Structure 1
Amino acid sequence: KAFRALFRSMQESMRSMWTSFLRRPIEGKLRTFGPFLPIFSFYFKLTSFIILFLMAYNRKQQEMSPSASPIKKKSKPPTTDDMVDKMANTVAHFEDILRTELTAMRNEFASHMSVVQSLCSKLDLLTGEMREQKKVVADHDRRVAALEQQVVDLQDRNRRSNLRLVGLPEGSEKDDPMGFVKRSLSTWLPSLAGKEIEVERAHRVYTRLSSDRAKPRVFIFKLLRYTDRELILRAARLHAPVKTSDGATTLNITILDKGCDTDGRITHIKTIVENRNIVFISVYAPCTPDPTFFSVLSTYLLKFSDFEIVLGADMNSVMSHTLDRSGPKESHSQAFCSDKLRLCVTSASLVDS
């Protein structure tokens, strides 16, 4: 209805304009085109109608569009549902990111685990081989220990028939030591007269002659049978002291006992030498200062109160730092060891020679 009213008003205005402005000037010309006037009028009305229709349609679209409104509408504040939806979308986005990262990490961890499993398998293989090698080495160690024991046993068996002559003057055997022993045994030990004793070899222990003729080298000889050795020892104890052809005598020594401490640093041999009880003690002290060792030594010496003590030792310490040592200042541990050593010597009535 509004469109029709608008169209009628425009038609009337155009008609009035035609009557007032255009009719009179061109009235003469229109008479010439009189037959065509209805056609022109129809096309003019149609064109005007189309133009007005398009203008009205465009205005209607502008009124219906929100952006065309000259007054901007205020934005509504977000509701709780909108905020929840937004948070849900954000959480979903982060979940997607985390899921992607976790998938990548899982794949990388799986690749590392495959490498670790291969290394573990190799380690198990090496451990098994090492276990087998340890068994082989242990078996070899047992065999070596058995062979060493056999060698020691062979050496002991080879030496069990040996005898030593101490104090035999140098040169007594001349160039025939074996013959000298065979001839002299019955002279030294009359109870062996008529015994057939076979000697395998005989010689002096050391090759270099001693400068002191009063201390001849030890003469050692090996017998063929162990029973002959025992026979000679029993005869020597029976005829002690034994005298050689030039009047020299040998010491009459009887070994009573021998032993050592738990660490093997102190060893002793209890003997009877010419009816005197003598204990021979060998001592090797620790290289580093150890005062407790001298306390152990003092206790060890108390066991031989009925014997005369002959002690040979490497104490790795001194009685007096001023008299027995030239060098840097004495440390506290060295001074303490020296005090313990002096106490040990005093308690056992030893003489430092």
Structure 2
Amino acid sequence: MANRTHKSSTSKKGASPPTEDDAAPLNSSESVEKIMSAIELLGTKMDTQTAALSQEIASIRQELHTTVSSLQSANSQNTKRIDDLEQSATEWSSTVMTLETTVKRLQSEVCGLTEKCLDLESRSRRQNIRLIGIEEGKEENNPRQFCAAALKEILDLEDTPRLDRGHRSLAPKPRDGERPRPFIIRVHHGDVKDRILRISSQKKQLFYKEKRTLWT
């Protein structure tokens, strides 16, 4: 018994304490677990960030698609409007050219008609004479007949001259005491008009109802 006890104590005394090499495997295993846990956590975060980034990119793409579609629609409408405006401008240009040609032709016609009117007016006035000095109202309702009778009486003509027109000038009717408006008389025959002027020029003074008259 004593020997066993001695051996046992001897064996206990001879046993060496555990070294760092004996504890290393346990520490390495824990480190690996921590690293793996960190990697898994990092992977989870990366997946979360990737999903969020993908969602944001998809949202941006959708917004861009909507914006581009809207711009394309607006561009199509503007293109159609521009085409319509170009077509309208072409049509209006043709219309304006046609109108310019028409206006030039009408201007030429108006110039010709104006010259003809001036010529006709001048011709119509060639047989006109003016009788000045007869009181207002003497002609009553038939100034042409009155002028014919007045010519015969004033100039001592054998026949009553044929007149186309006989009327007062278009000036406003004068008030009492003011100078009467002249008569505008158009003689039908030119030779009769010349004879009237010749006789009136031969006489120094012309009177109607004892009032002096003038011829022009």
TM-score bucket of the superposed structures, by smaller chain: 0.3 to 0.5
Task: Determine which structure has the larger helix proportion and give its number.
Answer: 2
Structure with bigger RCO (C-alpha 8 Å, 6+ apart): 2
